[in-house]
Amino acid sequence: MDASRVSPVNLILLGPPGAGKGTQARMLEDRFGLVQLSTGDLLRAAVAAGTEAGQRAKAVMEAGDLVSDEIVIAILRDRLSQADCAGGVILDGFPRTTVQAEALDALLFDMDQGIRAAISLEVEDQAMVERISGRFTCAGCGEGYHDIHKTPAVAGVCDKCGGTEMTRRADDNAETVASRLSAYHAQTAPLIDYYDGRGVLARVDAMAEIDVVAQELSAVVRQATA
């Protein structure tokens, strides 16, 4: 690696669905000038656009299962190679399997980069259904809200952009959440040990209020980037 160049800060947010990865990734974007890279968002965009990958992913996502490594890695590779990612990314929802983690290591190695920290947002399974079933998003800017934990200041109006169209995800229902949680435990949770073994793991208690988690997370990121 060229020592005269500051290497990009690449972070991974690990955690089950509803742990707050998307919300916290957006906060880190603003605070640290990094780019949020959510494979879930990229896949939903591919489904909406009707691309071949989107057509293959649609039913799998609706069932709450994991989309194939091949599709997700290709989508990630494309996005990571775009210019705005050069300063560093916050990976939200990727990697989700050991195959994806190994592919990410290889991709970053080829780009002379690495992972600065993998942060596990730790939450209890019981909290997940309530968290997920109450969430909604501004269709205009993507700001996330929750019926109980984060309501807009004026009902139905986005605090950030003033938009009035709010959307709820098709897979945010009790049945699909159960499948998503079991996919997390079977395929993604082992990555906590994977990154612990590489000496880059940090754990954050994500049961607390959003602002408290954000503060703790910022402290971890500051330490990892010092």
- To the query of whether residue 44 is one of the catalytic residues in this protein, the response is no
Residue nearest to ligand AMP (CB): 40
Closest distance of CB 173 from ligand AMP, Å: 12
> CA 164 to CA 167: how far, in whole Å?
10
CA 118 – CA 153 distance, rounded (Å): 33
Structure tokens at 63: 């069932």
Report the nearest approach of ligand AMP to the CB of residue 203 (Å): 20
Q: Between 99 and 138, how does the x/- string for binding to ligand AMP read (CB under 6 A)?
A: -x--------------------------------------
Name which of residues 30 to 69 contact ligand AMP (CB under 6 A): 39-40, 43, 60-61, 64-67
Active site residue 150: no
How many residues belong to the chain?
Answer: 226
Six token digits for residue 34:
């990094």
Q: Which stretch binds ligand AMP (CB under 6 A): 90-98, 104-112, 196-204, 218-226?
A: 90-98
- Tell me how far, at minimum, the Cβ of 78 lies from ligand AMP, in Å: 14
Judge whether 169 counts as a catalytic residue.
yes
Residue 87 backbone dihedrals phi, psi, to 5 degrees:
-85, -10
* Residue 46 and residue 38 in contact, taking contact as beta carbons nearer than 8 Å: no
Q: Which residues contact 199 (CB under 8 A, 6 or more apart)?
A: none
The contacts of residue 31 (CB under 8 Å, 6+ apart) are 218
Which of residues 103 and 202 has its CB atom nearest to ligand AMP in the complex?
103
The interface mask with ligand AMP, positions 173-192, x = CB under 6 A, is -------x------------
Give, for 26, the enclosing helix (H) or strand (E). Answer: helix 21-32
Count interface residues toward ligand AMP (CB under 6 A): 17
Give the Cα separation of 189 and 195 in Å (integer): 11
Shortest Å distance, C-beta 165 to ligand AMP: 19
Give the three-class secondary structure for 48.
Answer: helix
In the complex, the smallest distance separating the C-beta of residue 178 from ligand AMP, rounded to whole angstroms, is: 12
Q: 203 catalytic, yes or no?
A: no
Residue 134, number of CB atoms within 10 A of its CB: 17
Catalytic residues: 21, 96, 135, 169, 180
Question: Would you tell me which residues interact with ligand AMP (CB under 6 A)?
Answer: 17, 39-40, 43, 60-61, 64-67, 72, 93-94, 96, 100, 171, 180
